[in-house]
């Protein structure tokens, strides 16, 4: 540890500014969350009034929980993100491996085509996707929500960049040891790309956990709908917003993600630094 | 036991065929009913209950209710599904979506459906039918309909020396009452006189003002607007003056969603908002409140709003018949009365207000009848071809007026030009 006095004054000012910036950002980020907690544990009347002695209550959580079948929605959301992210990993790994190591002269063109997908807003394709899902008989299924997203250009791109940095020597050494191509992929590339998987997995899970329009359009029943669609019951536009209940419901739905992030925070931060969505 | 893949596939392929004839004999007609939720409370349970009751009364028909989010989400979902060849048979969508649905060619007029006789379609309040008919055909059946009314805090009226039994009846009174109701402490204001929300449904609020100033913002065919009419400009100026000249309305844009809460917290003494809020205000206002018709400018007036029932073209003849039966079931006077009491929406037919249940409710809570009494002054909610784009042009103009960036005349002239460009091809 460096002693504070040893730091030159100019650096110290820089450090101060950095700390200040970090705190400002952190507070800006956490403020909505703190407000949600405040609003959720107090009666509705205190939503816009700050009073330390305000009575505490859990009624909002009970009301939110009873207004919609949350356990079922939670299960659906879990199934959905597991399916989507899992499939993205498998497909992304295979495709990225080819794009990173294939020597065919078509690779560049094909990769460019995959990247074109990044330019298209998913919402543009909503009708075409609906037709496809209907033709496959997947309307109102969890698979139907996830299927249009299983091939992710972003995931392929990210993994390809990571795989490209793997030294060829490692691959050759593995081959000398008698590894098959799949063996090399599984034993050499995948373990080295772990930070990328973690970082990409997090963004993907967060995106699909929060996705709203497509799940709403493609599903019809409680048995398939994810949390976001269930949460929309509280957006009662004709009446205005009941902040207390909507805060409680928001906390309920985001709790699993927040908990996971807090538990694995260190790994996430490290993997972002190493994979650096750069 | 060893099951080969081929055998399994074979079994799968034949079983539905074997089962089909037996099933077909007793399969009920199934219709899907998409509905939005725009008011708080366990509305999904109420609707699911209606569908179940209907199923019991009509064993040959099964209605599958599908909750589809807000009105905005609902129209997106219905149109996407319809374009994808999978439309619901019936849906509750905004009455203003009528032209959009007709232009898309996805709905069928009620007049062409079996069992929808003229007597039934004429049983609703004419004010609601204005938004449900065009070109001599009825496209929508009123279901969850609303209109704008004024809510006021009777305690605040008493404190300000006003009679809590007489709400303002004219624009001038509205200003003078609001001046008395605005409480100032130095530069800050602890209670505003009035709020007319300018976000979310600004065009709706503005239409009320414009109607009161005796100008109609669009024609019956939905292909012409008159946003730049001098009377419309006057109406916008009145709205702006409430905050800039008279200083009785918070400056800038007041949020739609938080206005009821401001009212409950006594930050404002009078608010304009939908009758859909009635039950909410009744349950949450911690003081005696009154409900009044909107004050008159040159005349009284308010647009109607809310959702109609539509039947989609893709429905089979049997499904169309079932849809009509279900719509008649939903709009039966007894049920319409109960729905109005539960939600605050205006019961859609005079007969509903004649039911003992409703009479008793109105006797104990006269505010419930204000919206009905205002209906003779009501006009159709702003609705044109390409409704979303035209409405957006007007909303943008109103926001620029309320934030003080553009003068009312200039802003509304621009909105009118935009609307002209969009609507020209529909004439």
Render pLDDT for B227-272 as a digit per residue (tens, 0 to 9).
999 999 999 999 999 999 999 999 999 988 888 888 998 999 999 9
Is residue A43 in some structural domain?
no
State which residues form the domain around A66: 61-275
pLDDT at B11: 45
Residue in A125, A240, A242, A244 to test binding to B, most B beta-carbons within 10 Å? A240
- CB–CB of A60/A244 below 8 Å? yes
- CB–CB of B182/B192 below 8 Å? yes
Residue with tokens 């209606």: B50
Q: Does residue B6 have a pLDDT over 60? A: no
Q: pLDDT tens digit string along B158-168?
A: 999 999 999 99
- Judging contacts by C-beta atoms under 8 Å, the chain B residues touching residue A243 are 261
Query: In this structure, what are the phi and psi dihedrals at residue B151, rounded to the nearest 5 degrees?
Result: -105, 135
Q: Does residue B403 have a pLDDT over 70? A: yes
Q: Does residue A278 have a pLDDT over 60? A: no
How many angstroms separate the CA atoms of B427 and B413, rounded? 20
What is each CA distance from A119 to A112, A123, A213, in whole angstroms? 11, 12, 19
Instruction: Tell me the average pLDDT of chain B.
Output: 89
Query: Within the 108-137 window of chain A, which residues sit less than 8 Å (CB to CB) from chain B?
Result: 126-127, 130-131, 134
pLDDT at B210: 96
Q: Which of A115, A80, A93, A102 is nearest to A197 (CA)?
A: A93
Question: Helix/strand/coil (H, E, C) string of chain B?
Answer: CCCCHHHHHHHHHHHHHHHHHHHHHHCCEEEEEEECCCCCCCHHHHHHHHHHHHHHHCCCEEEEEEECCCHHHHHHHHHHHHHCCCCCCEEEEEHHHHHHHHHHCCEECHHHCCCCCHHHHCCCCHHHHCCCEECCEECCEEEEEEEEEEEEEHHHHHHCCCCCCCCCCEHHHHHHHHHHHCEEECCEEEEEEEECCCCCCHHHHHHHHHHHCCCCCECCCCCCECCCCHHHHHHHHHHHHHHHCCCCCCCCCCCCCCHHHHHHCCCEEEEEEEHHHHHHHHHHCCCCEEEECCCECCCCCEEEEEEEEEEECCCCHHHHHHHHHHHHHHCCHHHHHHHHHHHCCECCCHHHHCCHHHHHHHHHCHHHHHHHHHHHHEECCCCCCCHHHHHHHHHHHHHHHHCCCCCHHHHHHHHHHHHHHHHHHHC
Reported as a pLDDT band with limits 50, 70 and 90, residue B174 is: very high
Task: State pTM to two decimals.
Answer: 0.82
CATH of the domain at A255: 1.10.3720.10
pLDDT at B25: 45
Our measurement of the distance from residue B144's CA atom to the centroid of its chain's CA atoms, rounded to an integer in Å, reads 7
How many angstroms separate the CA atoms of B110 and A192, rounded? 65
What is the number of other CB atoms lying within 10 angstroms of the CB of residue A209? 19
Reported as a pLDDT band with limits 50, 70 and 90, residue A252 is: confident
Of A48, A238, A240, the CB nearest to B146: A238
pLDDT at A98: 93
Enter the tokens of residue A268.
């996430």
Distance from CA of B80 to the nearest CA of A (A): 6
pLDDT at A124: 84
pLDDT at A119: 86
With b for 16 or more beta-carbon neighbours within 10 A and e for fewer, the B176-192 pattern comes to bbbebbbbeeeeebebb
CB contact under 8 A, B38 and A134: no
Residue with tokens 């596939």: B9
pLDDT at B26: 56
Is residue A7 in some structural domain?
no
How many angstroms separate the CA atoms of B25 and B315, rounded? 20
Distance from CA of A243 to the nearest CA of B (A): 9
Count of A-B CB contacts under 8 Å: 88
Q: Does residue B84 have a pLDDT over 70? A: yes
Is residue A2 in some structural domain?
no
pLDDT at A7: 62
Is residue A46 in some structural domain?
no
Higher pLDDT, B225 or B27: B225
Is residue A143 in some structural domain?
yes
- By CA distance, what is A240's nearest residue in B? B257
A65 near B CB under 8 A: no
Mean of the pLDDT values across residues B91-108? 93
CB contact under 8 A, B277 and A238: yes
Higher pLDDT, A44 or A275: A44
A238 near B CB under 8 A: yes
Enter the tokens of residue B312.
């989609």
Q: pLDDT tens digit string along B149-160?
A: 999 999 999 999
Q: Which of B136, B113, B110, B135 is nearest to B121 (CA)?
A: B110
Count the alpha carbons within 13 Å of A161 in the hemisphere toward its beta carbon.
15
Q: Does residue B361 have a pLDDT over 90? A: yes
Which residue segments constitute the domains of chain B, with CATH numbers given?
28-145+305-368 (3.40.190.10), 147-304+380-426 (3.40.190.10)
pLDDT at A239: 63
Residue with tokens 């800006």: A28
Q: pLDDT tens digit string along A47-97?
A: 666 777 777 888 888 888 877 788 899 999 999 999 999 999 999 999 999
- By CA distance, what is A220's nearest residue in B? B66
Reported as a pLDDT band with limits 50, 70 and 90, residue B3 is: very low
Mean of the pLDDT values across residues B68-83? 89
Residue in A132, A145, A238 to test binding to B, most B beta-carbons within 10 Å? A238
Reported as a pLDDT band with limits 50, 70 and 90, residue B19 is: very low
A51 near B CB under 8 A: no
CB contact under 8 A, B265 and A45: yes
A241 near B CB under 8 A: yes
Non-local (6+) Cβ contacts of A38 within 8 A are: A50, A247
What is the number of other CB atoms lying within 10 angstroms of the CB of residue A257? 16
CB contact under 8 A, A216 and B73: yes
The pairing of beta strand B302-312 with beta strand B90-94? antiparallel
Report how many domains make up chain A: 1
Question: Helix/strand/coil (H, E, C) string of B292-308?
Answer: ECCCECCCCCEEEEEEE
Mean of the pLDDT values across residues B326-347? 91
Instruction: Tell me the average pLDDT of chain A.
Output: 85
Residue in B30, B40, B51 to test binding to A, most A beta-carbons within 10 Å? B40
Q: Does residue B221 have a pLDDT over 80? A: yes
Is residue A267 in some structural domain?
yes
% of chain A exceeding 90 in pLDDT = 35
Please state whether A277 falls in left (phi above 0), alpha (psi between -120 and 50) or beta. Answer: beta
- By CA distance, what is B144's nearest residue in A? A238
Least confident of A125-129, B185-189, B302-306, B375-379: B185-189
Higher pLDDT, A67 or B409: B409
Higher pLDDT, B152 or B44: B152
Residue A38: Cβ-neighbour burial (10 angstroms; 0-12, 13-18, 19+)? middle
- Judging contacts by C-beta atoms under 8 Å, the chain A residues touching residue B81 are 130, 217
- CB–CB of B32/B77 below 8 Å? no
Q: Is the dihedral of CA A103, A104, A105, A108 positive or negative?
A: negative
Q: Does residue B16 have a pLDDT over 80? A: no
Q: Which of B210, B261, B258 is nearest to B232 (CA)?
A: B210
CB contact under 8 A, A238 and B276: yes
Chain B residues contacting A via beta carbons under 8 Å: 32, 37-40, 42, 44, 64, 66-71, 73, 76-77, 80-81, 83-86, 146, 200, 256-261, 264-265, 273-274, 276-277, 280, 284, 286, 306
CB contact under 8 A, B276 and A47: no
Enter the tokens of residue B188.
């800050």
Of B38, B64, B265, the CB nearest to A237: B38
Is residue A36 in some structural domain?
no
Higher pLDDT, B365 or B25: B365
Is residue A4 in some structural domain?
no
């Amino acid at each position: 540890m460096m002693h504070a006095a040893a730091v030159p004054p100019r650096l110290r000012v820089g450090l101060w500014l950095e700390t200040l910036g970090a705190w400002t950002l952190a507070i800006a980020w956490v403020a909505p969350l703190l407000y949600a907690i405040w609003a959720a544990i107090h009666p509705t009347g205190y939503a816009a009034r700050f009073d330390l002695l305000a009575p505490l209550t859990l009624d909002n959580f009970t009301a939110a929980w009873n207004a919609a079948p949350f356990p079922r929605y939670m299960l659906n959301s879990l199934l959905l993100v597991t399916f989507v992210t899992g499939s993205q990993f498998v497909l992304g790994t295979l495709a990225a491996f080819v794009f990173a190591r294939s020597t065919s002269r078509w690779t560049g063109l094909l990769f460019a085509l995959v990247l074109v997908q990044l330019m298209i807003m998913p919402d543009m394709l909503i009708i075409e996707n609906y037709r496809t899902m209907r033709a496959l008989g997947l309307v109102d299924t969890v698979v139907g929500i996830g299927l249009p997203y299983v091939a992710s250009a972003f995931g392929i791109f990210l993994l390809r960049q990571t795989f490209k940095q793997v030294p060829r020597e490692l691959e050759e050494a593995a081959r000398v040891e008698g590894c098959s191509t799949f063996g090399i992929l599984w034993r050499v590339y995948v373990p080295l790309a772990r930070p990328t998987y973690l970082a990409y997995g997090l963004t993907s899970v967060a995106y699909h956990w929060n996705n709203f329009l497509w799940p709403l359009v493609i599903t019809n029943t409680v048995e398939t709908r994810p949390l976001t669609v269930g949460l929309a019951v509280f957006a009662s536009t004709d009446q205005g917003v009941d902040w207390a209940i909507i805060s409680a419901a928001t906390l309920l739905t985001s709790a699993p993600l927040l908990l996971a992030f807090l538990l694995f925070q260190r790994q996430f931060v490290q993997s972002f630094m190493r994979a650096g969505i750069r | 036991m060893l099951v080969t893949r081929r055998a399994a596939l074979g079994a799968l392929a034949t079983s539905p065929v074997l089962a089909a004839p037996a099933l077909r004999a007793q399969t009920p007609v199934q219709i899907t009913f998409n509905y939005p939720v725009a008011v708080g409370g366990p509305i999904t349970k109420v609707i699911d209950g209606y569908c179940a009751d209907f199923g019991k009364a009509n064993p040959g028909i099964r209605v599958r209710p599908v909750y589809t989010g807000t009105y905005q989400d609902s129209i997106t979902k219905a149109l996407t599904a319809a374009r994808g060849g999978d439309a619901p048979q019936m849906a509750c969508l905004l009455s203003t979506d009528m032209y959009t649905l007709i232009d898309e060619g996805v709905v069928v007029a009620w007049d062409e459906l079996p069992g929808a006789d003229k007597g039934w379609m004429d049983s609703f309040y004419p004010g609601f039918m204005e938004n449900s008919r065009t070109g001599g055909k009825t496209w929508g059946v009123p279901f969850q309909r609303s209109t704008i009314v004024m809510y006021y805090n009777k305690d605040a009226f008493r404190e300000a020396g006003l009679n809590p039994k007489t709400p303002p009846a004219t624009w001038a009174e509205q200003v003078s009452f609001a001046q008395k109701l605005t409480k100032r402490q130095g530069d800050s204001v602890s209670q505003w006189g009035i709020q007319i929300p300018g976000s979310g449904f600004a065009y709706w609020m503005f239409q009320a003002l414009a109607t009161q100033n005796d100008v109609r913002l669009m024609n019956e065919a939905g292909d012409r607007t008159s946003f730049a009419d001098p009377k419309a400009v006057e109406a916008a100026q009145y709205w702006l003056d409430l905050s800039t000249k008279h200083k009785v309305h918070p400056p800038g844009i007041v949020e739609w969603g938080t206005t009821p809460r401001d009212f409950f917290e006594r930050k404002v003494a009078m608010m304009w908002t939908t009758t859909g809020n009635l039950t909410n205000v009744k349950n949450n206002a911690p003081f005696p409140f009154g409900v009044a018709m909107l004050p008159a400018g040159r005349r009284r007036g308010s647009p109607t709003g809310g959702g109609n029932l539509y039947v989609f073209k893709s429905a089979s003849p049997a499904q169309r018949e079932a849809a009509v039966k279900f719509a008649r079931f939903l709009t039966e006077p007894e049920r319409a009365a109960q729905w109005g009491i539960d939600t605050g929406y205006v019961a859609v037919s005079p007969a509903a207000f004649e039911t003992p249940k409703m009479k008793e409710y109105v006797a104990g809570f006269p505010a419930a009848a204000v919206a009905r009494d205002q209906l003779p002054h009501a006009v159709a909610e702003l609705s044109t071809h390409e409704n979303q784009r035209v409405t957006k042009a007007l909303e943008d103009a109103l926001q620029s007026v309320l934030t003080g960036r553009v003068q009312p005349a200039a802003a509304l002239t621009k909105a009118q030009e935009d609307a002209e460009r969009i609507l020209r091809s529909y004439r």
